[in-house]
Amino acid sequence: MTSARSVRPVLILLAVYFLSMWAGAAAVHAQGVTPDVSLTCENPQPIETYPGSTRTSIVNCDLENPSAHQIKVDIVIQSGALVSAGPASLTVGSGLQTSFQVILRGDLQMSEGQHQISITATVSQANGVAYPGTPTTYKVLAVVKQFSRLRVASELAFIQLRPKVDYMVTYDVYNDGNALDRMNIEIANYDELSDEGFTLSLPLVNVEIESKSPPEKVRVQIRTPKNQGWTDKYYNLQFKATSDYSVRTEGIPNSQIQSVTLYIRGVYLPGFELIGTTMITALAAAAIAGRFRVYDNDDEDDDGDGELRVLDSRLF
């Protein structure tokens, strides 16, 4: 009995609340056209996410109230991987239009791609009275724009070689951009090295690299000069990589040059490559044999026994 009495005031309060809501809605309908709102938005500008960029874009929207009521509109924004900010609610007078903005922000170096943004407007009050409006949703497309960024590294910074030898120089090319890119490869000072007698060859003239993937190894085949005589000289091998996307789209080529110092030291005599090797071997053998001299000293041996003796001598 006591339990029923305690529940009765709650039921009375709920009944009064729903009756007031019904009465308010009825009064609103009696004043004219049903409260409603019209929502339109524009697609935002592409979002730049390269280091140093603002990484933001703005969606411009308009709310229009065609009814004879002053309405309060709740705004809900869904932006997926992008961070968004905008008004939680707006009040729009009868027959008026109100503009608002939604700010979008991407992560630093965010991957290139498209993101759907949903903006929902719902009438929650009409003439100060709560009203269960029907949600209206407008969808726009936000694009995270591609940007180019690359790095070039070499395994060695200094290489010493002899004249007329073949050697392979290896470089690592990184794609630090936010999308797949093709890197064009070249020797920046090819003509200069060619005039000095170098022979240069690139097995690859371009290579496609995924964003943030491990570096692609690019090799340069070189043959050192065969200038006759003694050589003791330094050269620079300038390896250059350029983003193809930057050339096609950004307007300014994005390139990087990595230099390797080549120190060429030694002698080259045309036609004497094999003879030179043979002479070196012979000289080495002579140096070893020259440290010992073996002879028969029957006449000069004080002992007169005619036995063989080994005398140490120095080869100069």
Q: Which one of 113, 144, 175 terminates a domain?
A: 144
Number of domains in the chain: 3
* CATH number of the CATH domain containing 173: 2.60.40.10
Helix H segments across the chain?
2-30, 190-195, 244-245, 273-290
* CATH number of the CATH domain containing 55: 2.60.40.2910
Question: 302 by DSSP, 3-state: which?
Answer: coil
Q: Are residues 38 and 133 in the same domain?
A: yes
Task: Domain of residue 175: give its range.
Answer: 150-268
Q: Are residues 133 and 155 in the same domain?
A: no
- Whether the pLDDT of residue 3 is over 90: the answer is no
pLDDT of residue 30: 42
pLDDT digits 0-9 by tens, 46-101 = 999 999 999 999 999 999 999 999 999 999 999 999 999 999 999 999 999 999 99
In a domain, 288, yes or no: yes
pLDDT of residue 270: 83
Q: Are residues 140 and 156 in the same domain?
A: no
In a domain, 182, yes or no: yes
Q: Are residues 203 and 100 in the same domain?
A: no
Q: CB of 150 within 8 A of CB of 254? A: yes
| pLDDT band for position 6 (cuts 50, 70, 90) | low
pLDDT: is 67 or 15 the higher one? 67
Least confident of 15-29, 132-146, 179-193: 15-29
Q: Are residues 43 and 123 in the same domain?
A: yes
pLDDT digits 0-9 by tens, 273-287 = 544 445 555 555 555
**Parallel/antiparallel/unpaired status of strands 181-187 and 206-209:** antiparallel
Q: CB of 73 within 8 A of CB of 90? A: yes
Q: Are residues 130 and 171 in the same domain?
A: no
Q: Are residues 99 and 155 in the same domain?
A: no
In a domain, 277, yes or no: no
In a domain, 109, yes or no: yes
Q: Are residues 77 and 61 in the same domain?
A: yes
Q: Are residues 175 and 237 in the same domain?
A: yes
In a domain, 8, yes or no: no
- Going by C-alpha positions, the residue among 278, 277, 275, 264 that lies closest to residue 163 is 264
Mean pLDDT of the chain: 84
Strand ranges (E), 224-254: 229-243
Strand ranges (E), 127-245: 129-130, 136-144, 150-154, 158-161, 166-175, 181-187, 199-201, 206-209, 216-223, 229-243
In a domain, 257, yes or no: yes
pLDDT of residue 222: 97
pLDDT of residue 11: 54
Q: Are residues 207 and 246 in the same domain?
A: yes
In a domain, 275, yes or no: no
Q: Are residues 187 and 240 in the same domain?
A: yes
In a domain, 4, yes or no: no
